[in-house]
Chain A
């Protein structure tokens, strides 16, 4: 009852204190919100200082978030793994990249000519977390599709370069295996295409053309956005069976989503722990890059 009284008095006070324009919404209008926000910041600014972790960190460093499966959680192991990951990141630069970006990975290879091998390809999948984080690169070399699985924190990796930083329409690009080879062919001597600083990562909305069936997977069931010609190869029976396995209710299954994610509070805690270190590393890398770009040209004649 006390709570009700408090809420009532509060709401009554609010009604008489401010003229509220919008009566249909419980949230203030955008203008009012914009006006209210700086006031709050002024009040809380000097008293409470929190480490500012950028919101995009969870996309840039997804492997720092632990596996949401409760049975496999272990706070101590997760923390130790994060420390190891930071240690590794101090040794080599592991840049930001996404599924659909084009990477060049140089790794130690005892059987290669110079003991190192460099592989250029498009990242078609990212999986696992912590020290086990890994990604798959795909390229077509001499008319042969090649895929290499790299572990991100593998000590044999010597260099990871992002040649083209972009995203695709889908979360994983396994359908490139069934696409025409030109869609996964990338030049080995391709040069890096730098993005402007602070620019958002572009989304490449290219639509891939598939080969005729048989395919490795039933692509028609996966609601792919980046494929142009699925309809061309499927019959009515495929369409029907695809419809049957759809799960339109899953986007409303809140607990399923909750069990697949790490809650925001926990994410904040994790990134607050690693943020300063990652940020200094980023700054260091930027400084080094600038140094490298301003090398004086030698005498030409």
Chain B
């Protein structure tokens, strides 16, 4: 039952955080681990989408999220945050990107700043799982399949039915109109020899008009 550290105040992460860290196998110990993660975070901020091993991506994700959230919280006039950015971004032009591009982009967001996907691994290859780590709002095409056109989705089923209904109504209207026109025509014409074929067409059309709403 340890007391929580109250000297620092951090905003809550919008991603799932593991209770313990991964050591990421490194001969230089914790410092080397952080160097590895610094490289990953720098690459993420630079390229906005990177593909790498799952463990390293998952570890680096938390650091990237916290870096951005600290930058949003304190701004670029806070000395400690600037030091943090200086430490975590190995290429110094990215410090500008962090404060001038990423902070305005994520300032009003209420979801996580990064996304992570599981990626397929090549076979036969290294055993380790792979993943794709990206910043939200990046300029690349989306990775997730677009399922909005799936015809089995409920809203698509409903839309289809509505469309069918609409078409049926339209057909029925059309048929009624035609029937009305032909009736008018027969009433006005008094010529007897032409009567026989006209009645045939009239009956056919009226049948169609009756069938149309059923179909």
Contact = CB atoms under 8 A, between A and B. Distances in A.
A258 B4 contact: no
Contact of B4 (A3, A256, A260): A260
A30 to B, nearest CB: 9
B2 A252 contact: no
Interface in A234-287: 247, 249, 252-267
Interface stretch (A60-68, A185-193, A214-222): A60-68
B32 to A, nearest CB: 10
B17 A258 contact: yes
A209 interface: no
A26 B103 contact: yes
Contact of B104 (A7, A132, A263): A7
B3 A62 contact: yes
Contacts of A59: 6
B99 A26 contact: yes
Contacts, number: 115
B62 A254 contact: yes
Contacts of B79: none
Nearest to A28: B75
B63 to A, nearest CB: 5
A254 B5 contact: no
> Per DSSP, are chain A's interface residues mostly helix, strand or loop, or mixed?
helix
A67 B9 contact: no
B70 to A, nearest CB: 7
Interface string A4-29: 10010001000000000000011100
A214 B143 CA distance: 63
Interface size band for A = 35 or more
Nearest to A128: B1
B191 interface: no
Given A26-B100, A252-B84, A132 B75 contact: no
Interface in A105-148: 126-130, 132-133
Given A62-B6, A258-B17, A27 B76 contact: yes
B67 interface: yes
Interface string A158-195: 00000000000000000000000000000000000000
Interface of B: 1-6, 8-13, 17, 19-21, 30-31, 34, 59, 62-63, 66-67, 70, 75-77, 83-84, 87-88, 99-100, 103-105, 136-137, 139
Interface of A: 3-4, 7, 11, 25-27, 58-59, 62-63, 65-72, 126-130, 132-133, 247, 249, 252-267
List of 6 A-B pairs having minimum Cβ-Cβ separation, nearest first = A27-B75, A263-B12, A70-B19, A254-B66, A65-B4, A265-B12
8 contacts: A25-B75, A67-B2, A67-B3, A72-B1, A252-B83, A252-B84, A255-B17, A261-B10
Given A132-B1, A266-B12, 11 more contacts: A4-B137, A4-B139, A59-B6, A128-B3, A129-B1, A129-B3, A130-B1, A252-B88, A258-B62, A259-B19, A265-B12
